[in-house]
Amino acid sequence: MAHHQLDARRLLCPMPVIRTQNFVVDLPPGDTVEVFCTDHGALNDIPAWCRINGHEVIASRTGASGEVVVTVRVGAKSD
Amino acid sequence: MARQRKALSLISGGLDSMLATRVIMDQGIHVEGVNFFTGFCVEGHTHAIRKKDKAKPKRNNALWVAETLGIKLHIVDVIDEYKDVVINPKHGYGSNLNPCLDCKCFMVRKAHEWIQEHDFDFIITGEVIGQRPMSQRRDTMPVIQRESGAEDRLLRPLCAKNLPETLPEREGWLQRENLFDFSGRGRKPQIALARSLGIEDYAQPAGGCCFLTDEAYSVKLDDLWRSRGTRDYELDDIMLLKVGRHLRPRPHFKLIVGREEGENNFLEGYRKQFTHLRTLSHPGPLVLVDGEIDADDLHLTARIAARYSKGRDAASVEVEIVPQGGEPQRLLVPPLAGDDMPDNWLL
Contact call for A41 and B75, based on CB within 8 A = no
Over residues A9-14, mean pLDDT: 86
pTM for the full predicted model: 0.89
For residue B137, the model assigns a pLDDT of 80
Closest CB to B58 among A10, A44, A51: A44
Domain annotation covers residue B237? no
Domain annotation covers residue B252? yes
- Is residue A1 packed enough to be buried (19+ CB in 10 Å), middle (13-18) or exposed (0-12)? exposed
Contacts of A67 (CB under 8 A, 6+ apart): A9, A36, A37, A38
User: With bands split at pLDDT 50, 70 and 90, how would you rate the model's confidence at B51?
Assistant: low
Closest CB to B77 among A9, A18, A53: A18
Domain annotation covers residue B231? no
Same domain, B181 and B261: no
Total number of domains constituting chain B = 2
For residue B2, the model assigns a pLDDT of 81
Per the model's pLDDT, the better-predicted residue between B120 and B141 turns out to be B120
Same domain, B252 and B201: no
Pairing state of beta strands B6-10 and B122-124? parallel
Domain annotation covers residue B1? no
For residue B57, the model assigns a pLDDT of 58
Residue where a domain terminates, one of B191, B211, B231: B211
Total number of domains constituting chain A = 1
Same domain, B150 and B271: no
Same domain, B261 and B184: no
Is A13 one of the annotated active-site residues of the chain? yes
Domain annotation covers residue B221? no
Q: Which domain holds residue A48?
A: 3-73
Q: Is B59 on the interface with A (CB under 8 A)?
A: yes
Domain annotation covers residue A16? yes
Chosen for mutation from B60, B72, B261 (greatest number of chain A CBs closer than 10 Å) is B60
Q: Where are the beta strands (DSSP E) in chain B?
A: 6-10, 30-37, 73-77, 122-124, 154-155, 245-250, 253-257, 275-279, 287-291, 317-322, 329-333
Domain annotation covers residue A69? yes
CATH assignment of the domain containing A36: 3.30.110.40
For residue B136, the model assigns a pLDDT of 76
Q: Which domain holds residue B78?
A: 6-211
Q: State pLDDT tens for residues A16-74.
A: 999 999 999 999 999 999 999 988 889 999 999 999 999 999 999 998 777 899 999 99
Domain annotation covers residue B224? no
Same domain, B117 and B65: yes
Q: State pLDDT tens for residues B142-183.
A: 999 999 999 999 999 999 999 999 999 999 999 999 999 999
Domain annotation covers residue B316? yes
Same domain, B32 and B158: yes
Same domain, B167 and B70: yes
Domain annotation covers residue A36? yes
Same domain, B198 and B304: no
Same domain, B255 and B141: no
Residue where a domain terminates, one of B168, B195, B211: B211
**Closest by alpha carbon to A71, among A36, A30, A29?**
A36
- Is residue B326 packed enough to be buried (19+ CB in 10 Å), middle (13-18) or exposed (0-12)? exposed
For residue B203, the model assigns a pLDDT of 77
Q: State pLDDT tens for residues B90-114.
A: 999 999 999 999 999 999 999 999 9
Domain annotation covers residue B261? yes
Question: Residues of B numbered 74-113 whose beta carbons fall under 8 angstroms of chain A's beta carbons: which are they?
Answer: 74-77
ipTM of the complex: 0.90
Q: How far apart are the C-alpha atoms of B307 and B133, rounded to whole Å?
A: 42
Residue where a domain terminates, one of B211, B230, B265: B211
Domain annotation covers residue A50? yes
Closest CB to B63 among A15, A22, A45: A45
Domain annotation covers residue A78? no
Mean of the per-residue pLDDT values of chain A: 91
Pick the catalytic residue from A4, A8, A9, A13: A13
